Amino acid sequence: MVVTGILAAVVSFFVGYGDAKEFQDHMLKQIALLASQSTVISPPHEEPRRKPSKHVSVDSANRIKVIRLPEDARPAWLVEDLKSGFHTLETDGGRIRVFVLGEASGKTIAVAQPTDTRDEIAMNSALLALVPLLLLLPGMVWLIIRIVCNQLTPVSRLAGHLDAQPADRPLPLSDEDVPDEIVPFVHAINRLLVRVGNLVSQQRRFIADAAHELRSPLTALSIQAQNLKQSGTLEVMRERVLPLQDGIERARKLTEQLLNLARTQAEALEVRTIDVSAMARELVAEYLPISEARNIDLGLDEVVPLSLITVPETLRLILRNALENAVKYAPDGGEVTLRLDSKTNGDVIEIVDNGPGVPASERERVFDPFYRIPGTAGEGSGLGLSIAREAASSLGGTVSLHERTEGGGSIFRFQLNRQ
């Protein structure tokens, strides 16, 4: 507003200055026309005579001079043969503005005024037009500051209320007495606080579930260690070492899965182009010994070769968890296939098995941390699919479970949409 006011004042000044100059030119012209019409009434049958003329100053304050030629003496600065109209001439005393009016009778009238006087008059006129704006500008600035401060006072109160909230239990902000322009912003903050609250609740639940899941294997390890201590013979000690080793391995796997889940939620890894087909072959080779031990047919169905721009570690984590689940729950002599495909809406990686499958009512719940379908055989922490979903979300993709149409079983599908 200050810059706009200054620009408006500058424009007003120059417009006023130009108008004053035009007005003075118009005044010189009008004086010349009036001087040409000043005549003396003559007797009948005689030509009209002009009033006695002199070299006169019509307005001493404005220094305007009217010269009638040839009656008046021609000044040195008034050159001959000047055409009718405005002229700016140089004199010993400075520049002068002249309006020349030629008459049909051959006489000439010149009205002159020094330019320094004209400039002074124009300057004073322009400054008079500038004064109201200069006086208005400070008042306008003061008024704007008062209005803005008054309107933004509720925003300051909201900021204080937001700072005073506990970080673990944020409460929504009130939009009462808030300017209408700020209300959408307040609502957006409230929606963000709701998401933050949900995230904090999920973290609390995750920590509680993790503590619960870790308590059981650690308690079992403690009991097994005490039993090992009480072993009377070397043979008994060897028998009790085996379950202790199994318990340690289960605790290790659970801890590794918890760390993987935390890493997918917190880390921002490097994105680069990777050969998914090569990664798939490596994963198949990694789980091939486990599959062969149970006579499971583990294979790779490469419909089209895939190359993705993504985080290799995160993609490998998704496929490893899904492949481990499929191999774990597939029946002896079953089938597990890692399939690579590309569709119009994105690239798809599927892991197909002929295991017991997942009921439709449980296909979303199995992605919750530590959730296992009631009655599921085998050991597990219920974190594999949850880790896969978190990792897929961090890559901008989705994971889902579907029913296998032929022969029963499940299809784990990871889809990365094209940008």
Mean pLDDT is lowest, of 123-132, 287-296, 362-371, for 362-371
Q: What is the DSSP letter of 375?
A: T
Average pLDDT in the 99-121 region? 84
Q: What pLDDT, on a 0 to 100 scale, did the predictor assign at position 57? A: 46
Q: How far apart are CA 142 and CA 147, in angstroms?
A: 9
Q: How far apart are CA 101 and CA 99, in angstroms?
A: 7
Q: How far apart are CA 251 and CA 95, in angstroms?
A: 104
Whether 310 and 271 have beta carbons less than 8 Å apart is answered as yes
Residue 183 burial class via C-beta count within 10 angstroms: exposed 0-12, middle 13-18, buried 19 and up: exposed
pLDDT band at residue 376, thresholds of 50, 70 and 90?
low
239-282 tens-digit pLDDT: 777 777 777 777 777 777 677 666 665 555 678 888 988 999 99
> Over the chain, what is the mean pLDDT?
79
176-199 tens-digit pLDDT: 878 888 888 889 988 988 888 887
Q: How far apart are CA 418 and CA 127, in angstroms?
A: 66
Mean pLDDT is lowest, of 38-52, 325-339, 392-406, for 38-52
Residue that wins the pLDDT comparison between 225 and 397 = 397
pLDDT band at residue 338, thresholds of 50, 70 and 90?
very high
Residue % of the chain over a pLDDT of 90: 3
Q: How far apart are CA 89 and CA 301, in angstroms?
A: 99
Element (H or E) spanning 419, and its range? Answer: none
Q: What is the DSSP letter of 362?
A: G
Strand partners for 97? 88, 113
- Long-range Cβ contacts of 82-90 (<8 Å, 24+ apart): 82/108, 82/110, 86/25, 86/28, 88/115
- Residue whose token pair is 């940008």: 419
Task: Classify the C-alpha dihedral 386-387-390-396 as positive or negative.
Answer: negative
pLDDT for residue 419 is more than 80: no
pLDDT for residue 381 is more than 70: no
58-69 tens-digit pLDDT: 555 567 888 888
For the record, the structure tokens of 406 come out as 């032929």
pLDDT for residue 52 is more than 50: no
List the alpha helices (DSSP H) in 230-310: 234-266, 276-293
Q: What pLDDT, on a 0 to 100 scale, did the predictor assign at position 73? A: 81
Side chain identity, residue 32 = A
**Domains of the chain, first to last:** 2-129 (no CATH), 183-261 (1.10.287.130), 268-417 (3.30.565.10)
* Residue 253 CB partners (closer than 8 Å, separation 6+): 381
348-363 tens-digit pLDDT: 899 998 888 888 888 8
Whether 67 and 110 have beta carbons less than 8 Å apart is answered as yes
Q: Is the pTM of this model over 0.85?
A: no
Q: How far apart are CA 4 and CA 141, in angstroms?
A: 11
pLDDT for residue 41 is more than 50: no
User: What DSSP assignment string belongs to 104-147?
Assistant: TTS-EEEEEEEHHHHHHHHHHHHHHHHHHHHHHHHHHHHHHHHH
pLDDT for residue 40 is more than 50: no
Q: How far apart are CA 152 and CA 157, in angstroms?
A: 9
Note if the bond before 44 is cis, omega within 30 degrees.
Answer: no
